[in-house]
Amino acid sequence: MKKNPLTDQQQSEIDDIRSTSFQTLRPTVPKLEEILYIPLPVLDHGFIRVVDYMGDDAAIVQAARVSYGKGTKRTRDDSGLINYLMRNWHTSPFEMCEIKLHIKLPIFIARQWIRHRTANVNEYSARYSVLDNEFYIPDAQQLRAQSSNNRQGRGDLLESDEANKVLSILQEDALNSYSHYEEMLNENFSGETIDENKTGLARELARMNLSLSFYTQWYWKIDLHNLMHFLRLRADAHAQWEIREYADVIIEQILKPWLPITYDAFLNYRLGGMQLSEQQLLIVKRLVTGEEIKHNPEEISATEWRELMHKLEIKE
């Protein structure tokens, strides 16, 4: 049975909140209410849980119609309007919805995540508290060599012996660094003193010995427009696998029940669609007419040509 990713205190707080119901006049989403506060597992020790949210599909439509006027209601239903907004990159109506998530993730993924500077973030502080002895160990299927043509990506799967050696190093180094962390602190993970005769190093200094594989936590509040921008980038096949796992959970287990119409439009126009340059579009138009084309460096760069062929699934 998988260990509860929450601390006993966090679980107790959730149980208390979920045992109490609140009356409200604002719109709520029953399917999202069902998973409110419940941790959705990601990776080996991580999770995402919805702490609070504002708005639904109707809120997006309502905001758009304030801008477009009452006549819009007669010409488009809610689904059609949301699809129109998504298709034409009208972003402000989507900003009317917000969500607050509690996320537990490895530090090296957190440093990628925080690059998106469009959210409000409050992170667990290792200056004030002792970090848990939890670190990310990837599955052997995720241990791959450096890609030969992509400096940011992974290549071929490591052989079994080499993969086992890597896993052993990761496990051993993490355990050793945490043991030294506790020794320097003179505290264990629960904050209890280990040796009464020792003072212990300040927490803000002792933490520097821990690796990026250790888990951190934060509260992350963001509006829907910026959330979808984050998801479009981090659910992409070129993103790192670990952060894609978090993006996929948000898309399928949070965005879908929260905003089902917007979810469908997002899949259609953002994740499932493609953006073309002017040169790429001209080539597509020529292809549609039946013209046989070959790469011409004077018309389009080799990189853009390869990207277009990949998008169109055309083998050269």
- For the chain, the structural domain boundaries read 1-136+215-273, 137-212, 278-311
Banded pLDDT at 74 (limits 50, 70, 90): very low
Q: What is the rounded average pLDDT of the residues 37-50?
A: 95
| Other Cβ atoms closer than 10 A to 57 | 21
Kindly tell me if the per-residue pLDDT of 1 is higher than 50.
Answer: no
Q: What's the confidence (pLDDT) of residue 5?
A: 74
Q: How many residues does the chain have?
A: 316
Q: What's the confidence (pLDDT) of residue 287?
A: 92
- For 5, phi then psi, to 5°, come to -75, -10
pTM across the whole model: 0.87
Closest CA to 131 of 197, 15, 209, 200: 209
| CB-CB contact of 220 with 101 (8 Å) | yes
Q: What's the confidence (pLDDT) of residue 149?
A: 65
Q: What's the confidence (pLDDT) of residue 129?
A: 87
Banded pLDDT at 70 (limits 50, 70, 90): low
Encoded tokens for 167: 């896993």
Encoded tokens for 75: 């010409």
Which strand ranges, in their side-by-side order, compose the sheet holding 215-223? 40-42, 46-54, 98-106, 215-223, 120-123
Q: What's the confidence (pLDDT) of residue 94?
A: 97
Q: Which CATH number fits domain 1-136+215-273: 3.40.1010.10, 3.30.310.80, 3.30.1360.170, 3.10.270.10?
A: 3.30.1360.170
Active site residues: 234
What is the DSSP code (8-state) at residue 272? S
